[in-house]
C-alpha cells in the first residue's frame, strides 16, 4: 500500500537566524565568549521562533597544543557542529538537516543526532611530520534536563550521568579527516495509551559515531559526514536507532562565486501501536528523508554573502500494520530560497 502527500505551496519572508557574538580577551591566555541566537523572526509576544544562549564560556589557551574551554559551549563533533552558526562562512541557506537550527521546532532528530551542549572541553593541534593532528574531548549534561518548574530548578540534569565525547582528526595540506564519538544515558517515555506510557526507559545508553572528510582539489571542494546513533533500549520490539549522511561537491568559479551540489539523507525509526486486542502489540516503523540540493554563494566582500538554494525533499515512511504488512507513505516538497548572510 502506498500513499503520496504533497505539501501545499506557500511563500514567506523570514529572519531565519541571527547570532550575536561577544568576545573579549580578559587576561593573558584567557578569553571570554558569549553567543546569543535568535531563530525564525523571534517575537515572544507573538510566540514566534526561539531565543537561546547558545554559548557562554571562558577559554585558556597558552598555545595551539592545549586549549581549555569551561562553560556552556557547542562541542566538537565532526566538521560542521562547532561552526554551524557561522552562517557567513557557509555556502548554504538551509544547512545539512541535523545542523539546521531553524528546523529545531519541526525536526526531532536534531538533538538525537548531534551533541548540542557541553560544559568543559580540552582540545589542541599537534604537529606530526608534514601533517597536523587535532583532538577534542569534552563532558556535559545528559539529555535528561528538567524543563518543568514545579519539579525544581529548570535547566539542570535530573540524573547522575554525563555526556562524554570527543573527536580525533588530521590535516594534511588541503585534506581534513576525523572521527567523532559520544556516549550518554537517556530517559525516554513512549506515547500514552490508556493513561500509561507505552514504554519507559531509564538511563538507556546511547552512542553516536561520526566521521568527516573535506578537501580542496584546485577549484573543486568536497565535504561530507556520517552520523550513526545507536540506542540500547533492551526492548526487542522497539528500535530508536538513526543515521545521517551528507556530501557536498562545490566549484569556485571565481574568487567570489561558489556553486555546489549536495545530498542529505536522514534515517530514523519510531515505535507504533499496531494492535490492542487481545494484547497490546508494538512494532517499529521507519522514516527516511532524502534531500538533493544545489546552490550558489556570491561573496560581495568579507562581510556580505548573497545566496540562492534549491532543495527537493522526499520523506518516505513505512508504518507497520496488524497484518505484518507495511503501509508506505511518501511526502514531497520543493524549496526555493534566497538569502543574505551578513557579518558585522
> Per-residue pLDDT tens for 18-59?
999 999 999 999 999 999 999 999 888 898 988 999 999 999
The maximal CA–CA distance of the chain, rounded, in angstroms, is 71
| CA–CA dist 163, 140 (Å, integer) | 5
Which residue matches cell numbers 509576544? 45
* pLDDT for res 3: 45
CA Rg value for the chain: 22
| CA–CA dist 298, 64 (Å, integer) | 32
Find the length of the chain: 344
The total domain count for the chain is: 1
| Blockwise average pLDDT, block size 10, the chain, 344 residues | 57 89 94 95 89 95 95 96 91 93 70 90 93 96 84 85 96 94 88 72 90 95 96 76 94 96 91 66 81 96 93 86 73 91 87
Closest CA to 99 of 7, 11, 210: 210
The whole model's pTM is what?
A: 0.90
CB 281 within 8 A of CB 305: no
CB 321 within 8 A of CB 313: no
Q: Residue 77 has which C-alpha cell?
A: 563533533
Q: 117 lies in which domain range? A: 2-148+155-342
CA dist 68 → 61, 102, 123, 268 (Å): 6, 29, 7, 35
For residue 321, the domain's CATH number is 2.40.160.10
Do the strands 281-299 and 242-252 form a parallel or antiparallel pair, or are they unpaired? unpaired
Closest CA to 238 of 278, 192, 285, 195: 285
Amino acid at each position: 500500500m502506498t500513499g503520496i502527500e504533497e505539501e501545499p505551496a506557500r511563500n514567506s519572508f523570514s529572519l531565519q537566524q541571527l547570532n550575536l557574538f561577544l568576545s573579549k580577551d580578559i587576561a593573558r591566555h584567557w578569553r571570554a565568549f558569549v553567543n546569543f541566537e535568535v531563530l525564525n523572526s523571534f517575537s515572544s509576544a507573538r510566540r514566534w521562533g526561539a531565543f537561546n544562549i547558545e554559548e557562554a564560556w571562558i577559554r585558556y589557551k597558552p598555545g595551539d597544543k592545549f586549549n581549555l574551554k569551561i562553560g556552556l559551549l557547542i562541542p566538537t563533533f565532526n566538521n560542521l557542529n562547532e561552526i554551524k552558526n557561522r552562517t557567513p562562512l557557509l555556502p548554504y541557506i538551509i544547512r545539512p538537516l541535523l545542523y539546521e537550527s531553524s528546523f529545531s521546532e519541526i525536526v526531532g532528530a536534531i538533538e538525537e543526532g548531534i551533541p548540542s551542549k557541553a560544559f568543559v572541553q580540552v582540545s589542541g593541534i599537534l604537529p606530526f611530520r608534514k601533517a597536523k593532528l587535532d583532538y577534542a574531548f569534552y563532558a556535559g549534561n545528559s539529555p535528561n534536563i528538567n524543563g518543568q518548574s514545579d519539579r525544581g530548578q529548570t535547566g539542570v540534569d535530573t540524573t547522575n550521568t554525563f555526556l562524554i565525547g570527543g573527536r580525533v582528526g588530521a590535516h594534511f595540506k588541503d585534506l581534513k579527516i576525523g572521527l567523532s564519538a559520544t556516549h550518554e544515558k537517556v530517559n525516554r517515555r513512549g506515547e500514552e495509551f490508556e493513561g500509561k506510557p507505552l514504554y519507559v526507559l531509564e538511563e538507556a545508553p546511547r552512542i553516536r559515531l561520526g566521521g568527516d572528510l573535506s578537501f580542496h582539489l584546485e577549484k573543486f571542494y568536497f565535504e561530507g559526514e556520517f552520523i550513526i546513533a545507536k540506542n540500547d533500549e533492551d526492548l526487542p520490539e522497539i528500535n530508536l536507532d538513526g543515521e545521517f549522511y551528507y556530501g557536498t561537491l562545490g566549484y569556485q568559479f571565481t574568487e567570489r562565486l561558489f556553486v555546489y551540489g549536495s545530498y542529505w539523507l536522514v534515517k530514523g525509526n519510531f515505535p507504533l501501536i499496531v494492535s490492542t486486542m487481545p494484547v497490546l502489540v508494538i512494532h517499529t516503523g521507519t522514516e527516511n528523508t532524502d534531500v538533493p540540493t544545489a546552490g550558489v554563494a556570491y561573496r560581495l566582500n568579507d562581510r556580505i554573502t548573497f545566496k540562492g538554494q534549491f532543495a527537493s525533499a522526499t520523506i518516505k515512511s513505512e508504518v507497520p500494520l496488524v497484518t505484518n504488512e507495511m503501509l508506505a507513505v511518501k511526502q514531497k516538497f520543493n524549496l526555493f530560497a534566497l538569502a543574505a548572510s551578513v557579518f558585522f
